[in-house]
A = this chain, B = another copy of it.
Amino acid sequence: MNGQPDANNVLRSTQIVIEQALRKLGYGDEMIALLQEPIRMLTVRIPVRMDDGTTKVFTGYRAQHNDAVGPTKGGVRFHPDVNEDEVKALSIWMSLKCGIADLPYGGGKGGVICDPRKMSFRELERLSRGYVRAISQIVGPTKDIPAPDVMTNSQIMAWMLDEYSRIREFDSPGFITGKPIVLGGSHGRETATARGVAVMIEEALRTKGIPLQEARVVIQGFGNAGSYLAKFMNDAGAKVIGISDVNGALYNKEGLDIDYLLDRRDSFGSVTNLFENTITNEELLELECDVLVPAAIETRLRASTPRS
């Protein structure tokens, strides 16, 4: 069974949330019909010349959920599991996030079906630029603003920004967020997700009466969010006893050597493949702990890791 049904569930489950919320707020069918799908969903085909001289055609998406209060905003994901329903669902969640924080933005989301781990630096550049060319007409600082997401980083944002600015024939740093500091990126942006989770964990522990120094933390996922969170927790004195990545999980009752793991982690967030003594993701999720943080991508959170 492939991931499609799961993805459908992501959209359907999101629509159910929307419907329930709107019903509670007293809105009728009209509003539900309007908000349960993006107002605009663009699917594009991106031909990319590969290093071996062949051309490969990638499929990309950009969803704009609702722009009633301002431009739409949301990340672009590069991943083999990207699909239309997931992109749609995530754009809806972005509307909710912006609304909760009272930001003058609607929700947007993008994605390209590809496996960045199997692409060269230049292939990634050409794909990033091609994606921007394909969607350029419907995005912009006052229309729809991309950002990094799963497996896209500040380098990719820099390529996308450069392509957009070249098309527009002027410097347009407001087109994208998550770009490098030197190109106008925001300080603290890279660690913001992890920082937010860390603050909430600290507040939760305080409420529960668990001293931070005694807390055992397990983190599923060692990407941008998970790895910085591990560092923040570790630096704050907590004991990070388990982490996982796409290949497996690591466990140490006394606390893992987070700085060492961060140092050895590759650019896609993989580190467990360097170790022989790994546990499975299922085992990780069953570890006894005080704090368990799900920091992997949506579909991964429910998937099981095959025992190798």
Contact = CB atoms under 8 A, between A and B. Distances in A.
Interface of A: 30, 33-34, 37-45, 47, 49, 54-57, 59, 67, 69-71, 104, 122, 133-134, 136-138, 140, 142-143, 166-167, 169-173, 182-184
A43 B44 contact: no
A56 B28 CA distance: 12
11 contacts: A30-B55, A34-B45, A34-B55, A39-B44, A39-B45, A40-B42, A42-B43, A133-B166, A136-B169, A140-B170, A167-B167
Given A57-B33, A57-B34, A67-B171, A42 B41 contact: yes
B134 A137 contact: no
Contact of A184 (B47, B104, B169): B104
Contact of A143 (B34, B54, B67, B171): B171
For chain A, what secondary structure do more than half of its interface residues adopt (helix, strand, loop), or is it mixed? mixed
Contact of A40 (B33, B43, B104, B122): B43
A94 B104 CA distance: 30
Contacts of A142: 170-172
Nearest to A61: B41
A133 B170 CA distance: 12
What 4 A-B pairs are tightest by C-beta distance, nearest first?
A142-B170, A33-B57, A41-B43, A30-B55
A170 to B, nearest CB: 4
A67 B166 CA distance: 11
Contacts of A34: 45, 47, 55, 57
Nearest to A44: B40
Nearest to A43: B41
Contacts of A140: 170
B45 A30 contact: no
Given A40-B42, A41-B42, A70-B173, 9 more contacts: A30-B54, A30-B56, A33-B56, A34-B57, A39-B45, A40-B45, A42-B43, A69-B182, A166-B167
Contacts of A49: 122
Contacts of A104: 173, 183-184
A45 B34 CA distance: 7
A90 to B, nearest CB: 16
